[in-house]
Structure 1
Amino acid sequence: MKLYYPWLMAILAALTLLVSNGMAITGLSVFDEALLGEFGWSRGELKFNGLITMVVTGLLAPFAGILLDRYGVRICMMVGWLFLAIAYWLYGNINGLTDMYLIHIMFSVVLVFCGLNPAVILVSTWFVARRGTAIGIALVGTSLGGAVFPQISTRLIESMGWRDAFQTEVIVPIVLLFIAFFIVRNKPADVAMSAYGGDNAVQADGSAAVLTGVAYKDAIKTSSFWSLALIAMFTFYSVLGVSAHLFLYMRDLAFTPAVAANAISTFFLCALVGKFIFGLSADYIDQRKVFYGNIFVMLVGAVMLAAMQTPLVWFSVVLFGLGWGASIP
């Protein structure tokens, strides 16, 4: 067991991203119709919650980084899962917009303590020689969260109503809290290991090849750096917008809630496939050409989605998901 502990950390990092992204961002949209029906809010009022989550997450990120360095990923993850459990319990008892907005501030705490940054830190601490592979395993969780939780939540809403659905899902972060306490360890030194697994792991020796690049101060002087930064910003903006509104969009086109949830899952599964297909292609074809190709595929999907034509929906979801997933590798 100890021999494979590093890979266990990579898998737990993937599970962490699956749950944090799925429950705090991508899985929430299936609740939208029920919330709008009960409270009579406008869509703008409802969707303001996503802006709150992202802005507060950005503001908290530097401070969370300090805490991650000081106390370690394990303790911070436990705090994040506790916040998520409380937030979902409270979500099932909201009575107005203010209640919902405050809960989305709590989701920001979840994302900075159980999101991408701590997951990558955890994996990077445990791996050197195969760090890229391990981080790739972890990042699978970001797509799977968007595929899994819309399905779970839709079925719970249909069987018990949206309030009980929120409170039933509390069990997920509680389980993750115990996993963090009993299994997650910040670094190899925290586990008594007679061997780190040879080539499989980790920081046993410093002989692993390390990719090199230009210094940060030199990178920010290049047009390529800022071009990639802008592309990342705009693609993530569009992806978050589409994933947040796709469920209601599908309902507007008279699809059933189950089918609308399937569209969200299809979107994120295609993103997962895109990561592998275009990532593999980049090893054999000029990377810039591959990059142009996946951005073009994403653009075609976006245009088709904007047409709001029922026959085009599934094509647009597939293409948009493939293109976005591909942009990451």
Structure 2
Amino acid sequence: MNGRGRLFHGWWMVAALSATEVVSWGILYYAFAVFLRPMEEAFGASRAAVSGAFSLGLLLAGIAAVPAGRWVDRHGARGLMTAGSCAATLLVLAWSRVESVAGLYAVWAGLGLTMATVLYEPAFAAITAWFVRHRGRALTVVTLFGGLASFLFLPFTERLVATWGWRTALQGLALVLAGVTIPLHALVLRRRPADLGLGPDGGPPTAPPEAPGEKGAGILLGPALRSREFRRLAAAFMLSAAAVAAVSVHLLSYLAERGLPGAWAASAAGSIGLMQLPGRLLFASFAGRLAPGWTTAGVFLLQTLGLVVLVTVPGLPGIAGFVVLFGMGQGMSTLLRASRIAEVFGLAAYGGISGALALCTTLARTAAPVGVALLYTFLGGYEPVFWLLALAALAAAVYGFTAERPNDTTTRGSRLARR
């Protein structure tokens, strides 16, 4: 509630973005897997050729994240996310009419650009401007709903394809995308609480609350990207993203190499996503109680410990321990990235910095699966490769911890401001 006895508008934005993120992630990201086989048959193309369109979209989404973030910094998320939802709807309709692999690549090049305007980065930027003390709670709510996207939309899309065929299913999903995301983005989102005569968290506009370690308006984009702090954060999140991407692609093969039946291996891999939800809840409960550097290190150490347990503990106990630790760490890292940028750099260029970090992690996710495949061939097996992934996660913890020393926040803020 705000001082006028009404629910703070920031929470209405959280509710709206929770709905739009689950729909956007479900349709623009997860649903592609359901359409993979039907498109192979329709185009007479290989799986690699068809799935390459999705990879192109992800790469372009990472590249577009930087200009999208700068737009949000200057104009707010409302116009960008509304326009992105409109474009995404039209492109999904165009996807339903594609007749060739070349056409599919063209559509997914456009969808990649729209993903940068409607997924987590602009949503996080919108929420961060409205909350300080309750920022962790607000971000947690949105990511909890976003984490349900695969659970809800994979079976839903599968049913649509089985009932209507893949082209009509896409048209139905386009209607869902338009009906949920366009009106909510257009009618609910606002740039900042001052536009409604409020401050962050619903407080008075003349006395905005500050989160521990946060530095007022913040650092501009250029000085932030040139700073040692950004390089360390980028290194931390790139190493973590590389480990996550490598595990997502190679875990089934590694478990098969250890003799685990395929059904068990698939269940273990799927359970990693499920464990992200309690990880995010746990993050929201302890993040504000620890110094930011320790919080960052703790998240990446969970991933490190999970990989060590997987390699060293035999049988199902080791796999179960890995799923819990690595999955929870992966879920926390989404929230960590959103909150850490504000803690280190403030809000002045939050969207642009977030976009630059998203580009870095996209490049890491793109390169890691291929790099691991080459290491597998060179080292002769997966076990030494997974040890290297554990070292990468450990290095991420070190870089993340040193990006802001818990007792050096004032000095760091002054140094950055002078650059």
| Mapping for residues 250-261 of structure 1, pairs under 5 Å | none
Aligned to 1:92: 96
Q: Give the stretch that moved more between structures: 154-163 or 70-79.
A: 70-79
The share of aligned pairs that are identical, in percent, is 22
Answer yes or no: is 1:182 the counterpart of 2:183: no
1:275 aligns with 2:284: no
Write the letter of the residue equivalent to 1:16.
T
Q: Give 1:289 shift.
A: 5.6
Measured in 1, the distance between the counterparts of 2:283 and 2:168 equals 41
> 1:99 and 1:33 mapped to 2: Cα distance?
17
Which of 157, 163, 168 aligns to 1:164? It is: 168
Taking structure 1 as reference, are residues 232 and 289 closer, same or farther at Cα in structure 2, changes over 3 Å only?
closer
Deviations 1:46-97 (A, max 9, x none): 2212321122122222322343344431111111111111121111111111
3-state secondary structure, aligned to 1:94: coil
Is the radius of gyration larger for structure 1 or structure 2? 2
- CA 1:73–1:34: 2 relative to 1, 3 Å: same
Q: Is the 8 A contact 1:298 1:323 kept in 2?
A: no
Unaligned runs of 5+ in 1: 244-252, 304-311
Confirm or deny: 8 A CA contact 1:272 1:322 kept in the other structure.
yes
Task: Give the match for residue 115 of structure 1.
Answer: 119
61-70 or 86-95, which deviates more = 61-70
- 1:294 maps to 2:303: yes
Deviation at 1:295, TM superposition (A): 3.2
Q: How many residues align?
A: 306
- Measure how far apart 1:146 and its partner are: 2.5
RMSD of aligned residue pairs (Cα, Å): 3.9
Q: Shift in Å at residue 106 of structure 1?
A: 1.8
| Aligned residue in 1 for 2:205 | 204
Q: CA deviation at 1:213?
A: 7.0
The answer for the alignment partner of 1:247 in structure 2 is none
Q: Is residue 200–residue 209 contact of structure 2 (8 Å, CA) maintained in 1?
A: no
User: CA 1:264/1:72 → structure 2, altered by over 3 Å: closer, same or farther?
Assistant: farther
Shift of 1:37: 2.8
Indicate if the aligned counterparts of 2:302 and 2:326 stay in contact, CA closer than 8 A: no
Gapped runs of 5+ residues in structure 2?
252-260, 312-317, 337-419
Specify the alignment match of 2:330 in structure 1. Answer: 324
Deviation at 1:200, TM superposition (A): 4.7
The offset of 1:265, in angstroms, is 7.1
The one-character-per-residue Cα deviations of 1:167-190 (angstroms, maximum 9, x if unpaired) are: 101122212112222222222344
Shift of 1:119: 0.6
How far did residue 319 of structure 1 move? 6.8
State the alpha-carbon separation in 2 of the partners of residues 101 and 113 from structure 1: 19
Partners in 1 of 2:153 and 2:58 — Cα distance?
A: 19
Q: Do 1:298 and 1:321's aligned partners in 2 also have CA atoms closer than 8 Å?
A: no
1:150 matched to 2:154? The reply is yes
Q: CA deviation at 1:30?
A: 1.6
Between stretches 220-229 and 62-71, larger displacement belongs to: 220-229
- Are 2:8 and 1:4 equivalent residues in the alignment? yes
